[in-house]
Structure 1
Amino acid sequence: MVIAGLTGGIATGKSTVASLFASFGAAVIDADRIAREVVLRGSPAFDRIVEHFGREILLPDGEIDRDRLGGIIFSDSGQRESLNRIVHPEVFREMNRRIGEIKSGNVNRVVICDVPLLIETGMHSVFDDVILVYVPEPLQINRLMEREGIGRDEALRRVRAQMSIEEKKPYASHIIDNSGTRENTAKITLEVYRSLEERSRRCGPCRHT
């Protein structure tokens, strides 16, 4: 089994690449989806988030207002770090549980863990490979503006709130350039998948724990 961490930057097209990997046969674990699940009302992480940020971040139904919370953490790096300290251990624990389930069923499977803050949190060090989805920053900003319906200044603020895509390059064992057509991205992604699949057949169990 080979377990790779997939990362990128906001609006680089990481979800598109994750979907391509799934279509080729990889098992994909989505850290963003897990992050939404582990903060649902009644969870330990939910209680700690409300205790830290206050009940003002809650929707009328009692769940966390992700837009309001996002507005807080994008404008305050200290608050962003506080949220990450609460959520990331819970996400990592659940990811490990799901990896264990996959491993028990098929030791030769390629597993892709889609983790937005893979490098920033230091989690990249536990994976067999790091796959970076790359687009140049100007394209990243334009795509974010179009996707979110926001102005350039706000898009730039959100992009600059993260580690830059250029800074992430040295950590990557594979770089998938998503600045061209979907067909070109699919071609590159398939090449990476076949490389991982071949290694998975050769090496058996992975080193991830």
Structure 2
Amino acid sequence: MPLIALTGGIASGKSTIAARLAEHGAVVVDADRIVRDVQAPGSPVLDRIAAEFGEDVIRADGELDRAALGARVFGDAEALGRLNAIVHPAVKAESQRRFAAARDADPAAVVVYDVPLLVEARVDDPWDLIVVADAPAAEREERLVRERGLDRAEARKRIASQVSDEKRREIADVVIDTAGSLDDTLRQTDGLWRRLSAGETA
């Protein structure tokens, strides 16, 4: 069972690649989904977040107030580190559980972990292949403005808050250039799938 890490910066086209691989038959495990699941109301992770950052980061319905928490940690490396120390171990444990479940269901499955913070948190895990969705920061800025309605300053701030494109490329086994057309991105992804289907991960 090949275990593939798929990463990329905000608006890099990573989700498009993940969806295409899923169409081909890959089991896609979404790190963002796991983060939401481990922070569900009543969870130990949410209780620890509230204890660390204050009950006001919990909404009246018991859900995490992501905006309030974001305001508390954004731009504060020390606070972000404390948050990550709570969340990352729980996400890692749950992702490992889902990888194992996929392997038990189909030992030949190709499992793709769609993970934005690979460089920051999971780069040393035993991946068979690391795939990076790559597009210039200027192009990603345009996508955030055009497709997500962000103003330009906010788009730049979000891109700047992430690890650099250079650091992602340094750890990549495969780079999918998403700066071109959608068809071009899908063509590269289809090529990756053919490689994975042939058992090629080196």
Please confirm whether the aligned pair reaches a TM-score higher than 0.5, indicating the same fold: yes
Tell me the CA shift for residue 73 of structure 1: 2.9
The residue that corresponds to 2:129 in the other structure is 129
Residue aligned with 2:51, SS: helix
Quick one: distance in 1 between partners of 2:55 and 2:87? 17
The residue that corresponds to 2:90 in the other structure is 90
Quick one: distance in 1 between partners of 2:19 and 2:29? 11
The residue that corresponds to 1:156 in the other structure is 156
Is this contact kept in 1: 2:7–2:131, CA < 8 A?
yes
Deviating above 4 A after TM superposition, structure 1's stretches of 4 or more consecutive aligned residues are none
Tell me the CA shift for residue 171 of structure 1: 0.4
Tell me the CA shift for residue 60 of structure 1: 2.1
Alignment of 1:26-175 (within 5 A): 26-175=26-175
* Aligned residue pair count: 202
The residue that corresponds to 2:6 in the other structure is 6
Quick one: distance in 2 between partners of 1:72 and 1:142? 27
Is this contact kept in 2: 1:109–1:197, CA < 8 A?
no
Is this contact kept in 1: 2:130–2:171, CA < 8 A?
yes
Quick one: distance in 2 between partners of 1:169 and 1:109? 26
The two structures have a TM-score, normalised by structure 2, of 0.93
Which amino acid is the alignment partner of residue 156 of structure 1? R
Is this contact kept in 1: 2:136–2:179, CA < 8 A?
yes
Provide structure 1 residue ranges, at least 5 long, that are not aligned to the other structure: 204-209
Tell me the CA shift for residue 124 of structure 1: 4.5
Cα deviation digits, residues 117-142 of structure 1 (max 9, x gap): 01111434421110000110111112
In the superposition, relative to structure 1, how do residues 25 and 167 fare at CA in structure 2: closer, same or farther (>3 Å)?
A: same
Which amino acid is the alignment partner of residue 72 of structure 2? I
In the superposition, relative to structure 1, how do residues 148 and 60 fare at CA in structure 2: closer, same or farther (>3 Å)?
A: farther
Matched, 1:23 2:6: no
Is this contact kept in 2: 1:7–1:133, CA < 8 A?
yes
Provide structure 2 residue ranges, at least 5 long, that are not aligned to the other structure: none
Quick one: distance in 1 between partners of 2:136 and 2:45? 35
Quick one: distance in 2 between partners of 1:89 and 1:149? 33
In the superposition, relative to structure 1, how do residues 33 and 184 fare at CA in structure 2: closer, same or farther (>3 Å)?
A: same
Fraction of identical pairs, as percent: 39
Tell me the CA shift for residue 94 of structure 1: 0.9
Residue aligned with 1:121, SS: helix
Q: Which one is further off, 166-175 or 191-200? A: 191-200
Quick one: distance in 2 between partners of 1:22 and 1:163? 26
